[in-house]
Amino acid sequence: MSTVTNNLPTGPVIVLVATALFIISIIFAPKRGLLMKGMNLTKLRTIIFRTTSRLDGRRSFSIKSYCNWFFI
C-alpha cells in the first residue's frame, strides 16, 4: 500500500495489516475460532433440546453422556 501512495509511512501500514490478519485468524480459525465456537454451541444446544424433548420426564439425564464428543 505504501508503494502505491506517496508519503505513506510503512510502519503504520505494517501494523494495520498485521492487525487485520490477526482479527481474521481469530474469527475463522478452524478449531478455536469465534465462528467455529458459535457453530459448536448451536450444535450443542440442538442436541440438548432434542435429547431433553425425547426424555419425556425421565430424571436421570447427563448432558456429558450424550455430548461426550463436544467436551474433548
- 25/49 Cα distance (integer angstroms): 31
Q: Give this prediction's pTM.
A: 0.58
Res 10: pLDDT = 87
C-alpha cell at 11: 510502519
Domain ranges of the chain: 1-30, 37-72
pLDDT digits (tens, 9 = 90+) for 3-59: 666 778 889 889 999 999 999 999 999 888 999 999 999 998 888 888 777 665 555
Residue appearing with cell numbers 447427563: 62
| CA atoms of 69 and 67, how far apart (whole Å) | 5
